[in-house]
C-alpha cells in the first residue's frame, strides 16, 4: 500500500498542475489590462487619415467586408463594406471557423473608443474575449496611437449595416491557445516620412506584410524565414504561395527597382483589375486592388525598408492550379 501511495501522490500532483494551468489559461487570460478611458476628437483630418489607413494600409475594410473571389484578388463587395462575415474555416486549412466582425455602428455603437482601441491593439474584446490573430493586432499594437485613433474615427463614420455573424468555432486545443496570444500593446511613435527607411518599416509593420510573406508551421512563422515567402493559401482556383520579398537577388526582390515595385502595386489599382477569373486561373489572397491605392511615397518607403532586411534565398512556386 505504501508503494502505491507515492506514485498516486505524484499523479494527483500532476493532475493538479495540469488542471490549474488549464483553468488559468481559460479563465485568467487574456490579461492585457483595462480599456483606456479616451474620447477621440473625430476631426475631418483624422477621419480622412483613418480612411486611408483602413482601406489601403492596415486593410480593416478588406477583412471586415465580404470579398468577391470570382474576381482577381477578391475585391470587397461594395454592398458589404464593414458588414463583416468573411469566413476563415477548414476549406482554407484553418482549425475551426472564424467570421470577421461587423465594424459598422450596427455592432459598435455601444463600444467606447477605449474599448475599440484595446481591441485593435491587443485583440481583446469589450467582454474580455481573445480574438484569433487572423486579425494582425500584434502588428497594430506596435503602431502610433494617433494612427489607431484615426482608424477608430473613420470606422465610426461607416454606414450602419445589419448583419448576423455566426459564433466562431475553434478546435481543441486552439480554443485554449487563443487566450495566450494577446499581450499588452507596445505602441511606438510614427517616424517622420523624411526618414524613409524607418517610415517604410513602420508601414510594413502596419500592413502586417511579414504575416503573409513568411512560411508557417502549426500557425506560427518559421523563425529565420521572415519575409522570404512560401506561406500557402488555399484559393477557389488552386493554392497560391506568397512571394519572397527579401532583398535576395535570385529569389526575392533584390533586383527590383523602386519604380518596378511601385508599378507592381499601381497596375492593380485600375477599375478593370477586378476582372472575372477563368477556371484554374492564377488567384491571390493579396488584396491588390486596395494596396494599389497606396500613396507612391509610402510604397517607395516600404521598398526602401525591404531592401535593408536580411536577404534569404527561397525559391517559391507561386501557384498550383486546382486539378
Candidates 201, 194, 203; CA nearest to 56 is 203
Residue found under cell 486611408: 52
3 state DSSP class of 95: coil
Residue-wise pLDDT tens digits, 33-82 = 999 999 999 999 999 999 999 999 999 999 999 999 888 888 999 999 99
With respect to residue 84, please indicate whether it lies within any of the assigned structural domains. Answer: yes
CA distance 67 to 64: 9
pLDDT at residue 21, rounded to an integer: 56
145-155 and 44-56 helices, crossing angle to 10°: 90
CA distance 281 to 237: 6
3 state DSSP class of 270: coil
pLDDT at residue 272, rounded to an integer: 57
Residue-wise pLDDT tens digits, 239-253 = 999 999 999 999 999
| Cα–Cα–Cα angle for 158, 160, 154, rounded to 5 degrees | 15
Whether 301 shows a pLDDT value over 90: the answer reads yes
How many domains is the chain built from? Answer: 2
Cβ within 8 Å of residue 55, ≥6 positions away: 61, 62, 290, 293
The residue out of 189, 211, 228 marking a domain boundary is 189
- Residue 274's pLDDT band (boundaries 50, 70, 90)? low
Whether 17 shows a pLDDT value over 70: the answer reads no
Same domain, 184 and 205: no
pLDDT at residue 5, rounded to an integer: 61
Whether 161 shows a pLDDT value over 90: the answer reads yes
- Residue 280's pLDDT band (boundaries 50, 70, 90)? confident
pLDDT at residue 256, rounded to an integer: 98
Higher pLDDT, 27 or 284: 284
pLDDT at residue 128, rounded to an integer: 96
CA distance 118 to 215: 28
Q: Are 113 and 40 in contact (CB under 8 A)?
A: yes
pLDDT at residue 88, rounded to an integer: 94
Lowest mean pLDDT among 70-79, 195-204, 288-297: 70-79
Same domain, 147 and 181: yes
The residue out of 189, 207, 235 marking a domain boundary is 189
Same domain, 83 and 211: no
pLDDT at residue 141, rounded to an integer: 98
Rg (CA), the chain: 22
CA distance 101 to 163: 9
Whether 12 shows a pLDDT value over 80: the answer reads no
Q: Which domain holds residue 274?
A: 191-323
Higher pLDDT, 15 or 276: 276
Residue-wise pLDDT tens digits, 205-234 = 999 999 999 999 988 899 999 999 999 999
Cis, bond preceding 173 (omega within 30 deg of 0) = yes
Same domain, 267 and 282: yes
Sign of CA dihedral 84, 122, 235, 262: positive
CA distance 226 to 311: 10
With respect to residue 12, please indicate whether it lies within any of the assigned structural domains. Answer: no
Whether 24 shows a pLDDT value over 90: the answer reads no
Q: Are 248 and 314 in contact (CB under 8 A)?
A: yes
The residue out of 122, 156, 189 marking a domain boundary is 189
- Alpha helices for the chain (secondary structure H): 2-23, 44-56, 60-63, 105-108, 113-122, 137-140, 145-155, 174-177, 196-206, 209-212, 258-266, 288-291, 296-306
Mean pLDDT in the chain?
91
Averaged pLDDT, 28-34: 87
Whether 114 shows a pLDDT value over 70: the answer reads yes
Averaged pLDDT, 195-210: 98
Q: Are 179 and 29 in contact (CB under 8 A)?
A: yes
Amino acid at each position: 500500500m505504501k508503494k502505491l501511495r507515492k506514485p498516486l501522490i505524484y499523479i494527483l500532483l500532476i493532475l493538479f498542475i495540469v488542471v490549474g494551468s488549464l483553468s488559468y489559461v481559460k479563465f485568467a487570460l487574456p490579461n492585457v489590462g483595462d480599456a483606456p478611458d479616451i474620447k477621440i476628437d473625430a476631426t475631418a483630418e483624422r477621419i480622412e487619415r483613418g480612411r486611408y489607413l483602413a482601406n489601403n494600409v492596415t486593410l480593416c475594410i478588406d477583412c471586415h467586408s465580404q470579398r468577391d473571389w470570382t474576381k482577381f484578388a477578391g475585391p470587397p463587395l461594395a454592398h458589404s463594406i464593414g458588414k463583416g462575415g468573411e469566413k476563415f474555416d477548414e476549406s482554407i486549412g484553418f482549425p475551426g471557423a472564424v467570421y470577421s466582425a461587423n465594424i459598422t455602428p450596427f455592432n459598435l455603437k455601444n463600444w467606447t473608443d477605449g474599448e475599440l482601441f484595446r481591441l485593435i491593439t491587443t485583440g481583446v474584446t469589450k467582454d474580455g474575449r481573445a480574438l484569433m490573430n487572423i486579425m494582425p493586432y500584434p502588428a497594430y499594437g506596435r503602431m502610433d496611437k494617433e494612427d489607431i485613433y484615426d482608424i477608430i474615427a473613420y470606422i465610426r463614420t461607416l454606414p450602419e449595416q445589419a448583419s448576423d455573424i455566426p459564433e466562431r468555432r475553434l478546435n481543441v486545443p486552439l480554443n485554449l491557445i487563443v487566450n495566450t496570444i494577446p499581450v499588452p500593446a507596445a505602441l511606438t511613435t510614427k517616424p517622420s516620412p523624411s526618414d524613409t527607411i524607418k517610415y517604410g518599416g513602420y508601414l510594413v509593420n502596419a500592413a502586417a506584410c511579414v504575416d503573409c510573406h513568411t512560411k508557417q508551421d502549426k500557425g506560427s512563422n518559421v523563425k529565420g524565414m521572415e519575409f522570404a515567402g512560401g506561406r500557402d493559401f488555399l484559393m477557389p482556383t488552386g493554392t497560391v504561395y506568397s512571394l519572397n520579398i527579401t532583398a535576395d537577388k535570385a529569389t526575392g526582390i533584390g533586383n527590383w527597382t523602386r519604380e518596378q515595385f511601385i508599378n507592381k502595386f499601381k497596375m492593380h489599382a485600375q477599375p478593370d483589375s477586378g476582372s472575372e477569373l477563368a477556371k484554374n486561373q492564377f488567384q491571390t489572397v493579396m488584396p491588390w486592388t486596395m494596396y494599389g491605392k497606396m500613396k507612391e511615397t509610402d510604397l517607395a518607403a516600404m521598398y526602401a525598408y525591404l531592401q535593408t532586411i536580411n536577404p534569404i534565398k527561397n525559391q517559391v512556386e507561386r501557384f498550383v492550379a486546382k486539378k
